[in-house]
Chains A and B, each alone.
Chain A
Amino acid sequence: MSKGRFGVHGGQYIPESLMNAVIELEEAYNRFKNDPKFVAELNDLLENYAGRPSLLYYAAKMTKDLGGAKIYLKREDLNHTGSHKINNVLGQVLLAKYMGKTRVIAETGAGQHGVATATAAALLGLECEIFMGKEDTERQALNVFRMRLLGAKVHAVTSGTQTLKDAVNETMREWSKRVHDTHYVLGSVMGPHPFPTIVRDFQSVIGREVKEQLMKKEGRLPDVVMACVGGGSNAMGIFHDFINDTGVRLIGCEAAGKGVDTDKNAATIANGKLGIFHGMKSYFCQDEYGQIAPVYSISAGLDYPGIGPEHAYLKDIGRAEYVPVTDDEAVKAFEYLSQVEGIIPAVESAHAVSYAMKLAPTMDKNQIIVICLSGRGDKDVAAIARYKGEQIYE
């Protein structure tokens, strides 16, 4: 079995033209991840630029309203650029710089990863090009302009379903044209080895902080840790430090769109089958002949037909659970958190909030749920208004 496996999942299923690039990346990552200068520089960026540690907020009103477990929100939405994406991006763009690369490219769905990459590239002085499905450039027009403002070139991808998976395809194609000076800043815990490991490591700061912060506040571990899952980077980031704490339930909330029984969803664990795509073996929504299915979610960030290989493995061994959450449920949670706590969550994160709303009332008052609030919802306001029938455009 090749490198980078999580059980049967993972691996390096990519064209030969990219093999030396991922080998070079793995070597560089192993060299710099423990290099004191690199570590110090990254920690400085996380603290003084991104604003870490992010708050662990006790949602008292929500807790009281739901009448069950105590609910804490890990406020990744308060990071610079408004989501957890910055954690991984600062790590990878800094790594690219240490590798002597002068240009970074990235895919983006909702635009959060693209904005974060453009931000880090601006700060660290690298050229930046972002690939985004044309449909997503329309859903998230404001983020497109934001990336341009930050000096990035944004390409609207018109192939296939014109969403996140097609943006990944196009970024891989672009990378295979220029590996010598370009690093592909992959935005989630997916793709060929070593990306799932690198992205997980850079995101694992989320769970590490939660553990410390909760220990200070409550003197104990949480009972449930939950997050939304598309590719799964914020979930993997918050899960990682709790994997060996087997008393902690880990729950990933995937996008069920119009429902898992309809043909309009992106619920990979509920509906996907084992396959090989985007460099990895994992679960994918696909037809009987292995054609990747066009998936759907109200959330551009979860609108992806696969899931990171480590999540697939955690599912296989029963360490994590994955539950589907529909558009309707996510929109309700989006409004609920806004009204009850005065926090507008990203529609992606609202998927996790929604499941917490179901779960909390079934739990005891002395139990604790931590929800990863992976991003802020400003980018979604217009889309949610349209979903509710109000024709607002950005």
Chain B
Amino acid sequence: MNKLQRAFSKGKAFIPFITAGDPCLEITEQLVLKMAEAGADLIELGIPFSDPVAEGPVIQEADYRALSAGTTTDGIFEMVKSIRKSCDVPLAFMTYANPVFTYGAERFMKKSQEVGIDAVIIPDVPFEERDEFLPYCSKYGIEFISMIAPSSHERIRMIAREAQGFLYCVSSMGVTGVREQIGNEAENMIKQVKAVKDIPCAIGFGISTPEQAARMSKFSDGVIVGSAIVKIIGQYGRDCIPYVVDYVSKMKSAIK
């Protein structure tokens, strides 16, 4: 069992997302350690990008805050290395094609392996373009996470068949961000996935309340929460840790 499979082996997985370097890398490191203690099964670390087209305003602002604070890809690698001295929670990078491509796809994946990253999620690299990065992911043992959306329809089977690690199911159309209402489109999407491949499915985009998380976890293997946490970080800045920990604990118990 690899580390990513382990994240889904203890019941429903709770997967928080934070933007690395928001408000600074020292706080990000503390957040990872404390969220892991509070029950996070897998943590997504966003490498900030100047133009995150799949993100709503909350994560866009976190990216700007992180970049303004001088966060770089190399700085994030160093931070992950430091996290790995004391914590083995599965970690996935979430970023955009250009920061990876410009760093050098092979250099990026090699470095990710060296510091202990388990997976990458690159939302602007769809199925058709995954060969840009997939060979290097395979070479260095980094899982390349695929996404499916409510508009994927017949593409779901194609994507699911080739998927590795887990499938990121986008709950509803649009960009990341808290939504008051989330439909049940993901339930049907996950059924289609499971019909072709036995792979964990985690739902993301829009989930913020324990009630939503509980409902989504009924038909999925895990829930991903980003904007709701990033909002707390934006609100409390360097003092955010206890508030985030409290939130993560609540969300984790909601899906138990």
Contact = CB atoms under 8 A, between A and B. Distances in A.
Nearest to B122: A13
Interface string A256-276: 000000000000000001111
Contacts of A166: 51
A111 B104 CA distance: 36
Nearest to A293: B50
Given A19-B127, A19-B128, A289 B51 contact: no
Contact of A15 (B99, B102, B124): B124
A288 B51 CA distance: 15
A12 interface: yes
Contact size class for B? Answer: 35 or more
Interface in A288-320: 288-292
A20 B151 contact: yes
A158 to B, nearest CB: 9
A286 interface: yes
A176 B173 contact: yes
A289 B147 contact: no
Given A160-B51, A289-B73, A16 B127 contact: yes
Interface centre among A13, A179, A279 (most CB of B within 10 A): A13
Contact of A2 (B49, B50, B51, B128): B128
B60 interface: yes
Which secondary structure characterizes the binding site on chain A? mixed
Contacts of A3: 128
A290 B99 contact: yes
Given A165-B51, A291-B50, A12 B151 contact: no
A159 interface: yes
A178 interface: yes
A17 to B, nearest CB: 4
Interface of B: 49-51, 53-54, 56-57, 60, 64, 67, 72-74, 97-103, 123-129, 131-132, 146-153, 155, 159, 170, 173-175
In the complex, the 3 A-B pairs of residues with the closest C-beta atoms, listed nearest first: A290-B102, A17-B149, A177-B174
Given A289-B72, A290-B98, 13 more contacts: A12-B126, A13-B97, A15-B147, A16-B151, A19-B155, A20-B155, A160-B50, A273-B102, A275-B101, A276-B97, A284-B98, A286-B102, A289-B74
